[in-house]
Structure 1
Amino acid sequence: MSKKEITFDSCNQLVSQFEAVVKNPVRERSSVYYTGVDLGTACVVLAVLDENFKPVAGAYRYADVVRDGMVVDYIGAIRIVRELKAELEEKLDTELLYAAAAIPPGTDSLDGGAIKNVVQGAGFEITALLDEPTAANAVLKIQNGAVVDIGGGTTGISILKDGKVVYVADEPTGGTHFSLVVSGAYNLSFSEAELYKRKEENHKELLPVLKPVIEKVASIINRHIKGYDVDEIYLVGGTCCLAGIETIIEKQTGIRTRKPENPMFVTPLGIAFSCTQEEMD
């Protein structure tokens, strides 16, 4: 087995461990807890790691407080993060002090302050703020390739060379656009289309309907990786949960495209890995 395969298997194992502790938290006492807060367009996820950076708890809630990578319901975002924090504190019987957060690449000057304020407003000391695809790579551990984070509102791309990020970009087009297509095709309201899209049993039927939007995402990827030596693409983000999305992107880009078993949890886990005990300036 190649080093890449071992690394990818480790990613899947970590995500599986996290899914298990979302259902059954590990209540053994840790000297410190590190929390990753992922404020997504469709879903807010909190991932908690122990002193050894092992997953011990997690919670998530579908929400509409962020749009296209920007916080649009500031009070609502604080309330949801605070409620998820309290829920996890009760399950772990401890106070969660430290958290890291992430933003779409290239948007730090626009909304980094708002994300930071949401995390602090929920009662955390924020210790790191990084871009989402870079956070995801803390779990993926890619040396060379591209991490593509397809969220609710945007597609973020990070190109890595020798384990270092050499290029980042973020463009509108994500799960929201998928839901709009589903809404139009099936004469559903936007919220009904969101729910319909999330159900895995509908994915096979939806794939041909959503193919044009997926091809648009692939064209965004192609445009940004042009001129870089990218031999593999790794998909993360909630929108990538759509079964078969990786096949269409691989066909359109001509580059091997891989997807973890649950791509929604890769970024929040990576954010948690970036958390420390030192509050950021």
Structure 2
Amino acid sequence: MQTRTKRFTNLKAANEQLQKFAKVVNSDHAIRKLHKNESLRVGIDLGTSSIVLTVLDHDNQPLYGAFEYDHAVRDGIVVNYMESVQILKRLKQKAEKVLGIELTTACGAIPPGTGESSAKIVSNVIEAAEFVCRNVVDEPTAAAQFLHLETGTVVDIGGGTTGISVFKNGKLTEVVDEPTGGFHMTLVLAGNQHIKSDEAELLKRDPKKEQNIFPIIRPVVEKMATITKTATSKTIEQPVVVVGGAINFKDFIPTFSKTLGMPVHKPSFPQFVTPLGIGMYDHE
């Protein structure tokens, strides 16, 4: 019972950080003023639907964040190098203006199992945007780092993939990635409504249309849960925490949980969990 309490305390603490962080994303101010010569950490998430930059202090407390929607990445792989670099440079400049300090180092991330070549491309994008890239980690592991999850399963629903990391007693026991994500919801919606994918993406993001949209994309959510249940060779450790911008639907968690056959937890602002976790690896 003690372990269960600790797990939920961790999610509560994470939610408090996420709520503070969400208020300053793309704003003109940080969570607090910086001290002189303060050491900062930067996380960069090159996602299928957006590129996110997060800034943390040396105690891993979030300070500021910025993002832009993009078409530069597909299924976790950078497909438009120059667009990625240009967006990242803009985000860097925006953060530096708000913080009043130059950002020099950063950490990136890739979906698990996408290989060294994918990590190298992410590193190259970061370096081309005038950072020193200190590390490239896998996305669900970064999410678990932010959540301080010792034992449990993190399911990171990205734009193009579903990444699953299983942890036991602080050790990563399995990590897998399957090609189904938020973009597949968009494709199903586009086909159903006979519209272009860009229009479907905007429709998917409109909270007012959620009641009509979710029944159309429900099968994709059920597939993601089935992937989580069947893709891992080891037992799924509880708690199961699902993160990623694609899960911001009221009925996502109940649907996912029912198909998975066990309780599932969603942090506040799940789209920022992985980017903040990535930043925690930006150190020597």
Give how far 1:110 is off.
3.5
Q: Tell me which residue corresponds to 2:57.
A: 50
Number of the residue aligned with 2:227: 220
Q: Say whether the 8 Å CA contact 2:174–2:234 is kept in structure 1.
A: no
Local SS of the residue matching 1:94: coil
CA spacing shift, 1:229–1:216, aligned 2, 3 Å = closer
Once residues 225 and 122 of structure 2 are traced to their aligned partners in structure 1, the CA distance between those partners, rounded to angstroms, is: 28
Q: Tell me what 1:79 maps to.
A: 86
**2:15 matched to which residue of 1?**
12
Alignment match, 1:35: 42
* Closer/same/farther in 2, CA of residues 44 and 28 from structure 1, 3 Å limit: same
Paired letter, 2:133: I
Match of 1:3 in 2: 6
Deviation at 1:273, TM superposition (A): 1.1
Give 1:21's aligned residue. 24
Deviates more, 1:32-41 or 1:182-191: 182-191
Correspondent of 1:146 among 150, 153, 157: 153
**Offset at residue 108 of structure 1 (A):** 2.8
Letter in 2 for 1:42: S
* TM-fit CA distance, 1:84: 0.5
* CA distance in structure 1 between the partners assigned to 2:207 and 2:172 by the alignment: 33
Q: Is this contact kept in 2: 1:27–1:91, CA < 8 A?
A: no
Helix, strand or coil at the partner of 2:127: helix
TM-fit CA distance, 1:62: 0.5
- Identity, in percent, stands at 39
CA distance in 1, matches of 2:24, 2:105: 19
Give per-residue Cα distances to partners, 1:185-207, cap 9 Å, x unaligned.
22221101101111222222222
Cα distance between partner residues in 1 of 2:81 and 2:24: 29
Normalized against structure 2, the TM-score is what?
0.94
- Counterpart-to-counterpart distance in 1, 2:45 and 2:249: 19
Match of 1:246 in 2: 253
State the match for 1:162 in structure 2. Answer: 169
8 Å Cα contact 1:200-1:243 kept in structure 2: no
Q: Counterpart of 1:126?
A: 133
Cα deviation, 1:180-235, whole Å, max 9, x if unaligned, reads: 11112222211011011112222222221111111111111111245415232111
Please give the TM-score of this superposition, normalised by the length of structure 1.
Answer: 0.94
Cα distance in structure 2, aligned partners of 1:151 and 1:110: 19
Deviations 1:69-117 (A, max 9, x none): 1100011111111110011111111100111111001113240100000
Per the TM alignment, residue 8 of structure 1 is displaced from its structure 2 partner at its CA by: 0.7
Partners of 2:85 and 2:256 in 1: CA distance: 35
Would you say 1:70 and 2:74 are equivalent positions? no
| Paired residues of 2:176 and 2:232 also in contact (CA < 8 A) | no
Count the aligned residue pairs. 277
Q: What is the alpha-carbon distance in structure 1 between the residues aligned to residue 236 and residue 154 of structure 2?
A: 13
Given the alignment, which residue of 85, 95, 100 partners 1:93? 100
1:48 and 1:55 in contact (8 A); partners too: yes
Residues 229 and 77 of structure 1, relative CA distance in 2, 3 Å threshold: closer
Amino acid at match of 2:266: K
Cα displacement string for residues 152-201 of structure 1 (whole angstroms, at most 9, x for unaligned residues) = 11110101111211101111010111001111222221101101111222
Unaligned 5+ segments in structure 2 are none
Aligned residue number for residue 262 of structure 1: 269
Aligned pairs for 1:196-211 (under 5 A) are: 196-211=203-218
CA distance in 2, matches of 1:9, 1:82: 33
Q: How large is the RMSD of aligned CA atoms in angstroms?
A: 1.4
